[in-house]
Amino acid sequence: MRRYLDTARRYRWVILIVLALTWIPGAALAYSEYMTSYEADATIWTQRTSQQFASISPQDPGLTTFATPASEQASVLKQLLATRSFLREVVGRTNLRVPDDPSDERKFFEDFTKRFRIDVLGTNLFRVAYRARDPRTGPEVVLATLDQRQEHLTASRAAATEAAASFYRSELSLAQSQALDAQRELDRFDEGHRPPLLPPDEYQQRQLRLKLEDAKARISDVKGRIDRSGVMPGILQMADSLDFQVVDKPLEDVRPSGGIRPAGTILGSAMLGGLALVFGLIVGGTVLAGRVGAEADIGRRVPATLFATIPEVAHRKSWQSRELRSALAAVAFAPARADHGTPGQ
């Protein structure tokens, strides 16, 4: 342990410079991140109870877990925020602009997604927050996200309604064709059989009439389904407006907020990076300084017969005495003192 402390003492100025070069910029970036962060949030109350149970594993749908309305809606919104098409529509509703370069566009959407935060506050309550660089962008993005979510839901329901309507129209065409065929068969039978009819003919006539009535009932049922499918999106939209209510709208706050966590992350990373560099410097300096520390090591490195060893070298303030190799060279090859005099005097 003493060796490492001695190495830290010898390289103390280098250590201070390394810490200054890592901690000061990190603190400046953390301060800038905190002072330029303006978070806006909206609190949503939801009462959707259509899916109270969600599957844990797609491979085993039998394993289910209880899913609250708030967690369900928060999960849906998180998945939408993970799609680039949804983010592009949200950005289009704000004053932000998407870069034209594909690489810049990817970085822009990655940073845009990281600034969202969705927290489930309770069974029916969750919060959507966005951290912007100015006070106005945060509320604008949050409201645009909620509006785009509603429009996406409406478009999905409209597409589902259109698919159902197409299916019902095909069923209506089939039912009308079957009714027309049944009517033709009954007309041909009436033309060929005049009353009074025999019992077998009466039975066949009744069967043809039942077939025709069944086809007509099928037509009426399909038409009713088509009418209900056209009205259903409006009913579902009204129900969703009641089940998905924005309790607290985002406010424009001129004071910085929401930047404590990212600023702390930046500052912590800078401090850990500086300490890691200092640790590596101390360990490396100690290993290099200890490479020449024993008689056997000196014998292997000096191309001469070992004639003396120095058990301890006193530390001086000069730069030459800070390493063992320099200290040994200074002692072994020091110039002769002047007070010895010249030979023969």
**Coil vs helix vs strand at 46:** strand
Question: 75: which 2 tokens?
Answer: 């999960």
Q: Do 171 and 117 contact (CB within 8 A), yes or no?
A: no
Domain locations in the chain? 1-37+259-289, 38-258, 293-334
pTM: 0.59
pLDDT of residue 295: 47
Q: Do 229 and 142 contact (CB within 8 A), yes or no?
A: no
pLDDT of residue 159: 78
DSSP result, 90-107 = HHHTSS----SSHHHHHH
- pLDDT < 70 regions, the chain: 48-66, 232-242, 259, 289-345
Q: How many helices (H) and strands (E) does the chain have?
A: 10, 6
From the CB of residue 37, how many other CB atoms can be counted at a distance below 10 Å? 20
Q: Do 130 and 33 contact (CB within 8 A), yes or no?
A: no
pLDDT of residue 101: 86
Whole-number Å distance between alpha carbons of 272 and 22: 9
pLDDT of residue 50: 46
Closest CA to 262 of 36, 46, 82: 36
What are 21-54's pLDDT values in tens digits?
888 988 888 888 777 788 888 999 987 644 444 4
Whole-number Å distance between alpha carbons of 3 and 110: 47
pLDDT of residue 316: 53
Q: Do 65 and 54 contact (CB within 8 A), yes or no?
A: yes
Fold of 38-258: Bacterial polysaccharide co-polymerase-like (3.30.1890)
Q: Do 71 and 120 contact (CB within 8 A), yes or no?
A: yes
